[in-house]
């Protein structure tokens, strides 16, 4: 391990020590394919779009003071360039050099920085509003945060360069302007907090941490205006320490929580950490979709009330998924508890992996769990509205998600494993190689072989270890194995059942030793809590960590997904090519289109449905909408009584 760890999150304290991109390499399988597409398609795609829609040009126009007339994009467009630069930095190690791109973009950014470190193309130039005149919506601190993250990524991947210098100047400006005696405000969009803490970790400079702590403490006291969405929208309603659940705009809530964990860890503030854990618990128990997605409302991209989880209006923004993974990872490092890795896995496979198209050049912004109408193919030449993308779109008017997916996939190897004084912990399963030093400089190396999540079999081979030093390999046994049987086989061939949580093997390993984990990935029915009203009377299928869905392209006769009912008394089975087949029936409603009124009085008993049973093909949710316009649903109505009106009740009865 070098002096500067190649890590997106590098706490100086906490239960677990993260392993960096120089210690973990993903060598094949699900995530390797996605990272390859990210490197070879998505990064260039984002670069080209930002040039085309003028967001890169904004920096050049700002440098020449013609930005008021020429600026393109929303007030936060600058941040997309920074996120792309961050993604390029993390990905540059393993997919050839991206130095030329990074240098060109950095030059544009550098040209627009003011002498005092301020950098934003939407404020403060001739004909624009003054700096910090709109903290509610201006996103200036948010943009500075992403700039700082990009600078940190550069320093940790290739060493400090021009971008890192720009970022430090920006951070110094923020501290000078928003310090204890400065503007007593916060940004309408959190994000600066995690960035400042990471810069403090990188530089060792306390003042960045102090500023982050100040921002966390200032929020929740109503310094921002009371907008129509309410101050909960930007978490300025209740101080972080006193809140009990995440609320308001989901990305804002989760970025803030991640920043609060960073501050809590660095300052040893257990009360603050506990407050975030409590909010995470309540949110996971009551405000999270089966996919791990968060955010129920389109109106303000926000969390709903407890158990308000409509599948058809699931906003489940891709960026909220990214933010949730960021938060879960920080909580895992701080506490060592596998439940945080459980949620991260669910969210990575079912939200983050769902967003990009197979070719890496189109994205979901919102990730609905139910779509009734086949969408139109988005325009390829123009940015799409964010919430209405019916198929993945190449770019959005608000295009935060593509670059957020890109930087997450670029960082992904860093989320697989950690170390502590006792050994190595495996949190996510992928074909990978791990090499690190344990306590006392003991070098260890592990080779992970698996095609998880297609298979549940994971083999861990010890490649390097000193035979005189016992240490522990810990493996997460996912919570989704509950009620089924997971097994661990020791290097000596001993096989035992393992319960959800953590399974450990401790010994003086020798190179060639193998541990084998067998996870039960057969498809299973899932029932929702009865308090989730929107999915009453339905079930879903999960196979390992993957949520499945019915997609109209797999149905006979051109039907849409409203015709499906499934029989949960028959177990779903594996089908060809990763599909699952469930017993069910297809009931075409087309003949009922002409009912005048969709509510019927009834006085009689329910009637059983009599349609013939058939096999319903289900596919992984992350793969949907890759075969043209379609309809989709995750939650499937069951073949329970259809309860038509009795014969004496007219069909038009109201």
Cβ contact 15:270 at 8 Å? no
User: Between residue 329 and residue 358, which ones bind a second copy under the rule CB under 8 A?
Assistant: 339, 342, 346
Give the interface segment with a second copy, choosing from 26-34, 80-88, 406-414, 641-649 (CB under 8 A).
641-649
CB of 214 or CB of 561, closer to a second copy = 561
Query: Restricting to residues 385-424, which ones interact with a second copy according to CB under 8 A?
Result: 385-388, 397
Rounded least distance, CB 41 to a second copy, Å: 27
Q: Judged by CB under 8 A, does residue 222 bind a second copy? A: no
- In angstroms, give the least distance from the CB of 562 to a second copy: 6
> How far apart are CB 404 and a second copy at their closest, in Å?
20
Give min distance, CB of 349 to a second copy, in A: 12
Q: How many CB atoms lie within 10 A of CB 216?
A: 27
Of residues 605 and 610, the one with the C-beta less far from a second copy: 605
Supply the minimum distance, in Å, between the C-beta of residue 525 and a second copy.
6
Residue 214: closest CA among 182, 243, 245: 182
Nearer to a second copy by Cβ, of 242 and 654: the residue is 654
The angle, 0 to 180 degrees and rounded to 10, between the axes of the packed helices 250-267 and 192-203 is 30
Binding track, positions 459-478, relative to a second copy; x by CB under 8 A: -------------------x
Burial (CB < 10 A; 0-12, 13-18, 19+), residue 586, is: middle
Find residue 497's DSSP bridge partners.
487
Token pair, residue 174, equals 């923020």
Q: Choose which of 139, 231, 313, 461 interacts with a second copy (CB under 8 A).
A: 313
514-518 and 538-543: which strand pairing?
A: unpaired
Among 66, 72, 165, 298, binds a second copy (CB under 8 A): 298
Q: How far is the CA of 346 from the CAs of 55, 203, 476, in angstroms?
A: 33, 34, 13
Query: What is the spatial distance between Cα 150 and Cα 90, in angstroms, rounded to a whole number?
Result: 9
Maximum distance among all alpha carbons in the chain? Answer: 84
Which lies closer to a second copy via its Cβ, residue 359 or residue 388? 388
Distance from the first to the final alpha carbon of the chain: 73
Residue 314 structure tokens: 């699931």
Report the residue number, 65 or 595, with the smaller CB distance to a second copy.
595
497 binding a second copy? (CB under 8 A)? no
From 10-18, 43-51, 63-71, 306-314, span contacting a second copy (CB under 8 A): 306-314
If one asks whether residue 116 binds a second copy (CB under 8 A), the answer comes out as no
Coil, strand or helix: which one is 636?
A: strand
Site string for a second copy, 174-213 (x = CB under 8 A): ----------------------------------------
CB 426 within 8 A of CB 475: yes
Residue 483 CB coordination number (10 Å): 8
Which CB, 230 or 615, lies closer to a second copy?
A: 230
Query: In angstroms, what is the minimal distance from the CB of 496 to a second copy?
Result: 18
Contact between 360 and 42 (Cβ < 8 Å): yes
Of 281, 272, 268, residue with least CA distance to 242: 272
d(Cα 478, Cα 517) in Å, to the nearest integer?
Answer: 11
Q: Which two tokens stand for residue 273?
A: 């950490």
321 is a contact residue toward a second copy (CB under 8 A): no
Strand order in the sheet with 486-489: 24-28, 431-438, 442-450, 457-464, 514-518, 486-489, 495-498
Instruction: Choose which of 562, 579, 613, 626 interacts with a second copy (CB under 8 A).
Output: 562
Distance (Å, whole) CA 340 – CA 256: 17
654 binds a second copy (CB under 8 A): yes
Q: Which residues ranging from 569 to 628 are in contact with a second copy (CB under 8 A)?
A: 569, 571, 589, 592-603, 605
- Residue 482 interacts with a second copy (CB under 8 A): yes or no: yes
Instruction: Measure the CA–CA gap between 71 and 282, rounded to whole angstroms.
Output: 42
Number of residues that bind a second copy (CB under 8 A): 88
499-558 residues in contact with a second copy (CB under 8 A) are 499-500, 524-538, 540, 542
CB of 178 to a second copy, least distance (A): 29
Q: Which stretch binds a second copy (CB under 8 A): 146-154, 354-362, 434-442, 479-487?
A: 479-487
From the list 481, 523, 522, the residue with the least C-alpha distance to 503 is 481
Query: Exactly one of 370, 407, 447, 461 binds a second copy (CB under 8 A); which one?
Result: 370
Of the pair 201, 313, the CB lying nearest a second copy is at: 313
Does residue 308 belong to the site contacting a second copy (CB under 8 A)? yes
Q: Which two tokens stand for residue 372?
A: 């009734």
The stretch among 369-377, 405-413, 489-497, 507-515 that binds a second copy (CB under 8 A) is 369-377
């Amino acid at each position: 391990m070098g002096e500067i760890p190649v890590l997106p999150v590098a706490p100086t304290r906490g239960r677990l020590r993260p392993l960096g991109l120089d210690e973990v390499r993903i060598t094949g399988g699900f995530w390797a394919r996605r990272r390859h597409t990210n490197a070879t398609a998505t990064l260039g795609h984002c670069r080209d779009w930002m040039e085309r829609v003028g967001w890169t040009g904004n920096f050049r126009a700002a440098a020449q003071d013609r930005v008021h007339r020429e600026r393109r994009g929303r007030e936060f467009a600058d941040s997309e360039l920074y996120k792309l630069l961050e993604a390029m930095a993390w990905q540059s190690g393993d997919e050839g050099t991206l130095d030329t791109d990074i240098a060109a973009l950095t030059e544009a950014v550098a040209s627009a920085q003011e002498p005092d470190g301020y950098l934003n193309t939407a404020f403060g130039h001739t004909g624009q509003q003054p700096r910090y005149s709109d903290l509610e919506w201006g996103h200036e601190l948010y943009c500075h945060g992403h700039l700082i993250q990009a600078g940190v990524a550069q320093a940790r991947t290739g060493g400090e360069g021009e971008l890192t210098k720009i970022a430090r100047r920006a951070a110094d400006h923020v501290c000078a302007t928003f310090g204890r005696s400065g503007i007593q405000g916060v940004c309408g969009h959190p994000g600066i907090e995690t960035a400042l803490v990471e810069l403090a970790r990188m530089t060792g400079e306390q003042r960045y941490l102090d500023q982050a702590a100040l921002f966390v403490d200032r929020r929740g006291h109503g310094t921002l205006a009371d907008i129509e969405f309410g101050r909960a929208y930007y978490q300025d309603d209740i101080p972080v320490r006193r809140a009990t659940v995440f609320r308001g705009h989901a990305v804002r809530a989760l970025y803030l929580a991640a920043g609060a964990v960073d501050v809590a860890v660095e300052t040893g503030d257990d009360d603050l950490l506990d407050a975030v854990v409590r909010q995470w618990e309540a949110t996971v128990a009551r405000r999270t979709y089966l996919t791990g997605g968060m955010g129920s409302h389109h109106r303000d991209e926000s969390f709903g009330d407890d158990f308000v989880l409509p599948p058809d209006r699931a906003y489940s923004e891709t960026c909220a998924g990214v933010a949730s993974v960021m938060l879960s990872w920080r909580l895992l490092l701080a506490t060592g508890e596998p439940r945080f890795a459980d949620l991260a896995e669910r969210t990575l496979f079912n939200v983050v992996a769902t967003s990009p198209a197979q070719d890496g050049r189109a994205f979901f912004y919102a990730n609905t769990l139910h779509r009734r109408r086949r969408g139109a193919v988005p325009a390829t030449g123009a940015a799409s509205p964010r919430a209405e993308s019916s198929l993945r779109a190449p770019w959005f008017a608000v295009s935060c998600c593509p670059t957020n997916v890109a930087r997450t996939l670029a960082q992904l190897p860093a989320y697989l494993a950690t170390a502590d004084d006792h050994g190595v912990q495996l949190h996510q399963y992928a074909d990978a190689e791990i090499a690190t030093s344990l306590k006392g400089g003991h070098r260890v190396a592990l080779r992970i072989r698996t095609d998880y999540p297609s298979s549940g079999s994971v083999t861990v081979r010890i490649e390097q270890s000193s035979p005189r030093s016992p240490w522990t390999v810990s493996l997460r046994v996912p919570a989704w194995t509950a009620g089924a049987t997971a097994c661990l086989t020791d290097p000596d061939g001993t096989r035992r059942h393992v319960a959800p949580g953590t399974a450990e093997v401790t010994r003086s390993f020798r190179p060639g030793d193998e541990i084998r984990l067998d996870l039960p990935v057969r498809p299973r029915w899932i029932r929702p809590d009865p308090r989730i009203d929107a999915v009453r009377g339905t079930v879903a299928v999960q196979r390992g960590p993957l949520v499945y869905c019915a997609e109209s392209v797999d149905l006979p006769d051109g039907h849409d997904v409203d015709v499906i009912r499934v029989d949960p008394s028959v177990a779903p089975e594996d089908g060809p090519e990763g599909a699952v087949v469930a017993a069910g029936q297809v009931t075409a409603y087309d003949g009922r289109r002409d009912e005048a009124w969709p509510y019927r009085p009834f006085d009689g008993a329910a009637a059983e449905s009599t349609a013939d049973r058939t096999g319903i093909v289900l596919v992984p949710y992350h793969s949907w909408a890759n075969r043209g316009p379609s309809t989709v649903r995750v939650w499937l109505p069951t073949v329970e009584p259809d309860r038509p009106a009795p014969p004496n009740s007219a069909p038009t009865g109201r």
